[in-house]
Chain A
Amino acid sequence: MTAWLRRLAGYLRRRHLDDDLKDEIRLHLELRTQALVDEGMNRREAEAQARRSFGNATLLAERSREVWRFRPLASLAQDLRFGARMMARAPLHAAVVVATIALGTGLNGAVFVLFNAALLRAPDIPEAGDVVRVDDGEPSVGLTYPDYVDYRDRAAQAIDLAAFSSARATVQIDRAGEKLTEEVTPVIASGNFFDVVKVRALLGRTFSGREDLPPFGTPVVVLGEAYWARRFNRDPDVVGRTIDLNFQPFTIVGVIPASFRGLDVPGGGLPTVREMYVPLWCLPQLRPSEAPLLDRTTWWGLQVIGRLRPGVTLGPARAQLGIVAASLDREYRGLRGARAPWIGHITDVDLRMLTTEAGIVAAVMGTATLMVLLIACANVANLALARTCARSREIAVRMSLGAARWRIVRQFLTESAMLSSLGTVLGFTIAYWVLRISTGSLAEQPFSFSLDLDLRVAAYAAMLAALVALVTGLVPALQASKPNILPALKDVAGTYRLGRLRALFIGGEVAICLVLLVTTALMVRSAQKAEAIDPVMPAAYLLAIENHDAVLLGYKDRKLSALVAEMQRRVGALPGVQSTALAKPLPFSGSRYGTTLRRGDAADGPPMRVLLSNVSASFFQTAGLEILRGRTFGGASDEVVISEALAARMFGDGDPLGQRLITGEYDRSTHTVVGVVRNAPFVSLQLRNEPFMFRPIDASDGAAIVARTAGPARTLVRPAAAAVRAVDPRLSTAVNAIDDGIAHEVSEVMQGAAVAGGLGALALVLSLFGVGAVTAHSVAQRTHEIGVRIALGAAPSDATTFVVRQSIRPVIGGLVVGFVGAAAVSRLAAALLYGLSSVDPVAFGSAGCFLLIAAAASAWLPARRAARVDPLIALRAE
């Protein structure tokens, strides 16, 4: 350290040091000369001898000076100055390179900033260091309410646990006599939620107490500041007003500040700020989910957070949860698998998130944008190689004057680092502002994260810049500093055969581009197929009526089935309703029921997993599912109807009717197949061809009603809700048209296709630019050769063809590699996308042909110049 200070002090007075050194050396020489003269040597000889024994004074003085100098710094400054001069000499080259890099890094930056904000950044709440997230080992699956209560009460000494979830709801607000209706997604939180996160109300109060369950008071709601501003104009008298949520009145009791952005773990899309908060005890009014809150085995909807008690650290808290889990496993043996409680600080990155849907989306997006960046890098490297040719003389001169190879490589790397830093800073700046503006204005609902830049983003940017500098600088640097300088000195044009390297880059670009294009094509095809779906179910004419708080209102068993029957009767009596049926779960509600299945004559065989739904006999006719063989349920409780896919898998070509099937593992039951129906997108479009089984419904534990309407189902939403509520005004009901669910799924695929398409188009433009640039350069390089060919009688068009053929060869190589990569990608995509075989010939063929033709065209444009080569001029240039 002090050595550095001394060095710095020396550096500051280096001129002074120089003079001192000269004095010292002069004195030394004089004293030595004097000594030799004293020994009897004559003065001239003595002076010469003194200098000889001293050595090279200039060199030694230089070395003494260098001791004081920051050598690396000095030569870095030199490199930077030289690099800046080179950039200034070729401003167009620099601009193209910086723009290309900015494009690539900007895309990656945008994805990373979003990813960082949504998944990595810690929530902004008071004393967040004490707040933990708790789950049962699976971050995307929540806890059931009874499990949460058990953890909360039994681990109370270590942690104060709170729970929350969210659900869609329709809100209706009276505004100046006019009713505003919109969809919102309130957070449903336990009574102690705001105490645990330590968020105080801006206005009014938050929830009181910790009672989460009925008996009900009046349902209450707490608004978020953003929603309060948007819909209530920051009206200070909002507390006490009433709004309707899912057709139930809720009293507004308070407003919480916008600084609290929520704690949602992103499920699929980007988390948005929630409009409002509803206490958990109002869940039945708000969201009649398909299973009651109190059931320990069905509703896994709760995310659990907690605040560590003062003095408690993660270790003891984890141990406590482990003990609770073990005792729960004992008490509720057989209800579910063993619990594996997980606890982690909310401020830490939960690495398990990377395997959830959001993580996978981020990974896919990240990979795709990284591919675009690689293409951009390949282009820049190719440009650099071209410039290397132009600079080969300069480099050869430097090397022949004794510059070390490493020094030349460093010079090149410094230049590419300068360009990549400029490009990265530009790219990130643009990305940041684009994100800022688009998330600010496009989304009506603000995202629940802040886009502020942090150290992680800076580190990522630095990493990208370094990567780009290496990728774009190293190959040209090594190539340029190859120690065969003679030919370059002699200026033999075209001796540098960089062709193979450049072909490699072009091939790589094309391969990556093809993968992106095929992905785009696959997604578009999938969306097309999803939209043009065979109307197996007339989804637009199906209405779903859900209700589940009946259990909490005291309905059960026969009373419940009577209630359901009455509701079904009233809905069926509505004008415009053609038929009704019962189902559990509902089509396109997002919930999947499943069981294991074995053939009756192979009770010990391996089981098969099937999706299932419980439906009434009239369901098939109501939902428009054609019964291909057999009949619907006749009344016996052991009858089942199976889908074509299940029949084919279970029985092959054999007759499934009358066959026996065994369901379940522990409590097995035997069923008889009475009918086979067409495959239908019952759960989702994707799962359309999954084996599916229908069982007769037992309405004594509740059911949803499906109604077939004569006109569009949407028009009957309100009358149906009113009809159901007339049976018991306390009931809350969710009424939806089924094709909303399908439209949602299609739109997700379309959005994905649009993003992939954008990236694919960028990749395409970059690759074509690369092909064109390389062709143009090779024409320039081969002017002489082309001149000879023409002089020897080749037609000008032959010259063009020749150049184009040369440029297309690496493109074809790239296409071959790209097809292999695309096949791997599409195999993955087939699992995620609807209606695709693993290799979709149309997608592959169209992407490949398109790319080849486009590449040929972009090679042809610069290649035309080859035809105009005048052999005389070309030969004279030699």
Chain B
Amino acid sequence: MGKKRTDRQDLLPGTLDMLILKSLTRGVMHGYGIAEHIRQLSDEVLHVEEGSLYPALQRLQIQGWIDSEWGHSVNNRRARYYRLTKAGRRQLGDVESSFTRLVAAITRVMKPA
């Protein structure tokens, strides 16, 4: 457990929103689902303070990039499900491409050919 912790990475600032949007491309999810998704896909490297997801979800809703509705979870509890909107898909495209460029640029600098 202790060893695992050292491998964990804090998120680059501003990337949480992108990760949420990306997760939602897979379909409708509730907050816990999004957190799990990010954790599992990143092989548990990305350390998201799970609570910080919720302010981010509110922010994205205000931007109009995601939508939400209430439904029932697997264990039949009231749960809020989030869905990517059209604007959100566009936004994801934008941040994805600029992020890719950024990573590529950093990689080039760090590992010169």
Shortest CB–CB separation between residue A637 and chain B, in angstroms? 93
| Chain B residue contacts of A31, Cβ below 8 A | 32, 73, 75
Shortest CB–CB separation between residue B20 and chain A, in angstroms? 14
Is B78 within 8 A of A3, CB to CB?
A: no
Q: A24-B80, A27-B77, A30-B77 are in contact. Are A7 and B62 (CB under 8 A)?
A: yes
Most chain B Cβ neighbours within 10 Å, of A23, A56, A64? A64
Most chain A Cβ neighbours within 10 Å, of B30, B50, B80? B50
Instruction: Kindly identify which residue among A20, A27, A32, A64 contacts B50, using a CB–CB cutoff of 8 Å.
Output: A32
Is B30 within 8 A of A64, CB to CB?
A: no
CA distance A790 to B104 in the complex (A): 80
A820 at the interface (CB under 8 A from B): no
Shortest CB–CB separation between residue A436 and chain B, in angstroms? 50
B93 at the interface (CB under 8 A from A): no
Shortest CB–CB separation between residue B51 and chain A, in angstroms? 4
Is A68 within 8 A of B32, CB to CB?
A: no
Shortest CB–CB separation between residue B1 and chain A, in angstroms? 10
Is A67 within 8 A of B59, CB to CB?
A: yes
Instruction: Kindly identify which residue among A32, A54, A68 contacts B58, using a CB–CB cutoff of 8 Å.
Output: A68
CA distance A60 to B78 in the complex (A): 20
| Chain A residue contacts of B78, Cβ below 8 A | 23, 27
Shortest CB–CB separation between residue B28 and chain A, in angstroms? 15
CA distance A33 to B67 in the complex (A): 27
CA distance A68 to B58 in the complex (A): 8
Is B51 within 8 A of A60, CB to CB?
A: yes
Shortest CB–CB separation between residue A329 and chain B, in angstroms? 65
A25 at the interface (CB under 8 A from B): yes
Shortest CB–CB separation between residue A675 and chain B, in angstroms? 94
Instruction: Kindly identify which residue among A3, A10, A63 contacts B55, using a CB–CB cutoff of 8 Å.
Output: A63
Is A57 within 8 A of B55, CB to CB?
A: no
A19-58, CB under 8 A of B: which get 1 and which 0? 0110111011011101100000000000000000111110
The total of chain A residues at the interface (CB under 8 A) is 29
CA distance A32 to B59 in the complex (A): 23
| Chain B residue contacts of A28, Cβ below 8 A | 31-32, 35, 50
A872 at the interface (CB under 8 A from B): no
B63 at the interface (CB under 8 A from A): yes
Shortest CB–CB separation between residue A458 and chain B, in angstroms? 34
Is A55 within 8 A of B64, CB to CB?
A: no
Shortest CB–CB separation between residue B55 and chain A, in angstroms? 4
Is B73 within 8 A of A6, CB to CB?
A: no
Shortest CB–CB separation between residue A753 and chain B, in angstroms? 65
Q: A27-B32, A27-B79, A28-B32 are in contact. Are A67 and B73 (CB under 8 A)?
A: no
| Chain A residue contacts of B50, Cβ below 8 A | 28, 32, 53-55
B99 at the interface (CB under 8 A from A): no
- Nearest A residue to B78 by beta-carbon distance? A23
A61 at the interface (CB under 8 A from B): yes
| Chain A residue contacts of B80, Cβ below 8 A | 20, 23-24
Is A3 within 8 A of B73, CB to CB?
A: no
Is B54 within 8 A of A6, CB to CB?
A: no
Most chain A Cβ neighbours within 10 Å, of B54, B59, B61? B54
- Nearest B residue to A53 by beta-carbon distance? B50
CA distance A10 to B57 in the complex (A): 14
B49 at the interface (CB under 8 A from A): yes
A438 at the interface (CB under 8 A from B): no
CA distance A21 to B70 in the complex (A): 12
CA distance A493 to B20 in the complex (A): 57
Q: A31-B32, A55-B49 are in contact. Are A64 and B55 (CB under 8 A)?
A: yes
CA distance A10 to B62 in the complex (A): 9
Is A6 within 8 A of B51, CB to CB?
A: no
Q: Which of A4-23 contact B (CB under 8 A)?
A: 6-7, 10, 20-21, 23
Q: A20-B80, A67-B58 are in contact. Are A25 and B51 (CB under 8 A)?
A: yes
| Chain A residue contacts of B42, Cβ below 8 A | none
Is A56 within 8 A of B32, CB to CB?
A: no
Is B64 within 8 A of A2, CB to CB?
A: yes
Is B49 within 8 A of A27, CB to CB?
A: no
CA distance A27 to B49 in the complex (A): 16
CA distance A60 to B75 in the complex (A): 25
Shortest CB–CB separation between residue B44 and chain A, in angstroms? 11
B52 at the interface (CB under 8 A from A): yes
CA distance A61 to B52 in the complex (A): 9
Q: Which of B33-89 contact A (CB under 8 A)?
A: 35-36, 49-52, 54-55, 57-59, 61-64, 70, 73, 75, 77-80
CA distance A412 to B27 in the complex (A): 51
- Nearest B residue to A63 by beta-carbon distance? B55
Most chain A Cβ neighbours within 10 Å, of B32, B57, B70? B32
Shortest CB–CB separation between residue A589 and chain B, in angstroms? 76
CA distance A25 to B77 in the complex (A): 12
- Nearest A residue to B35 by beta-carbon distance? A28
| Chain A residue contacts of B32, Cβ below 8 A | 27-28, 31-32
- Nearest A residue to B61 by beta-carbon distance? A6
Instruction: Kindly identify which residue among B52, B57, B70 contacts A55, using a CB–CB cutoff of 8 Å.
Output: B52
- Nearest A residue to B57 by beta-carbon distance? A64
| Chain A residue contacts of B79, Cβ below 8 A | 24, 27
| Chain B residue contacts of A54, Cβ below 8 A | 49-51
Is A68 within 8 A of B62, CB to CB?
A: yes
| Chain A residue contacts of B36, Cβ below 8 A | 35
CA distance A34 to B74 in the complex (A): 12
CA distance A27 to B78 in the complex (A): 8
| Chain A residue contacts of B61, Cβ below 8 A | 6
Shortest CB–CB separation between residue A648 and chain B, in angstroms? 83
- Nearest B residue to A3 by beta-carbon distance? B62
Shortest CB–CB separation between residue A8 and chain B, in angstroms? 10
CA distance A227 to B35 in the complex (A): 86
A717-741, CB under 8 A of B: which get 1 and which 0? 0000000000000000000000000
Instruction: Kindly identify which residue among B35, B54, B59 contacts A60, using a CB–CB cutoff of 8 Å.
Output: B54
- Nearest B residue to A67 by beta-carbon distance? B58
B3-20, CB under 8 A of A: which get 1 and which 0? 000000000000000000
Shortest CB–CB separation between residue A50 and chain B, in angstroms? 9
- Nearest B residue to A2 by beta-carbon distance? B64
Is A60 within 8 A of B63, CB to CB?
A: no
Q: Which of A193-223 contact B (CB under 8 A)?
A: none
Instruction: Kindly identify which residue among B51, B57, B70, B73 contacts A57, using a CB–CB cutoff of 8 Å.
Output: B51
- Nearest B residue to A68 by beta-carbon distance? B58
| Chain A residue contacts of B51, Cβ below 8 A | 25, 54-57, 60
| Chain A residue contacts of B35, Cβ below 8 A | 28
Shortest CB–CB separation between residue A10 and chain B, in angstroms? 7
| Chain B residue contacts of A32, Cβ below 8 A | 32, 50
- Nearest B residue to A6 by beta-carbon distance? B62
Is B54 within 8 A of A25, CB to CB?
A: yes
CA distance A54 to B64 in the complex (A): 25
Q: A31-B73, A60-B55, A61-B54 are in contact. Are A67 and B31 (CB under 8 A)?
A: no
CA distance A99 to B51 in the complex (A): 53
Instruction: Kindly identify which residue among A3, A10, A35, A64 contacts B54, using a CB–CB cutoff of 8 Å.
Output: A64
- Nearest B residue to A32 by beta-carbon distance? B32
- Nearest B residue to A56 by beta-carbon distance? B51
CA distance A873 to B61 in the complex (A): 65
- Nearest B residue to A7 by beta-carbon distance? B62
CA distance A53 to B54 in the complex (A): 14
Can you give 22 A-B contacts (C-beta < 8 A)?
Answer: A2-B64, A3-B63, A6-B61, A7-B62, A24-B54, A24-B79, A25-B54, A27-B78, A34-B75, A35-B36, A55-B52, A56-B51, A60-B51, A60-B52, A61-B54, A64-B55, A64-B57, A64-B58, A67-B55, A67-B58, A67-B62, A68-B58
**Could you list which residues of chain A lie within 8 angstroms of chain B, going by C-beta atoms?**
2-3, 6-7, 10, 20-21, 23-25, 27-28, 30-32, 34-35, 53-57, 60-61, 63-64, 66-68
**Could you list which residues of chain B lie within 8 angstroms of chain A, going by C-beta atoms?**
30-32, 35-36, 49-52, 54-55, 57-59, 61-64, 70, 73, 75, 77-80
Q: A20-B70, A54-B49, A68-B58 are in contact. List 18 more A-B contacts (CB 8 A).
A: A3-B62, A6-B61, A23-B80, A24-B54, A24-B80, A25-B51, A27-B77, A28-B31, A31-B75, A53-B49, A53-B50, A55-B52, A60-B54, A63-B55, A64-B54, A67-B55, A67-B59, A68-B62
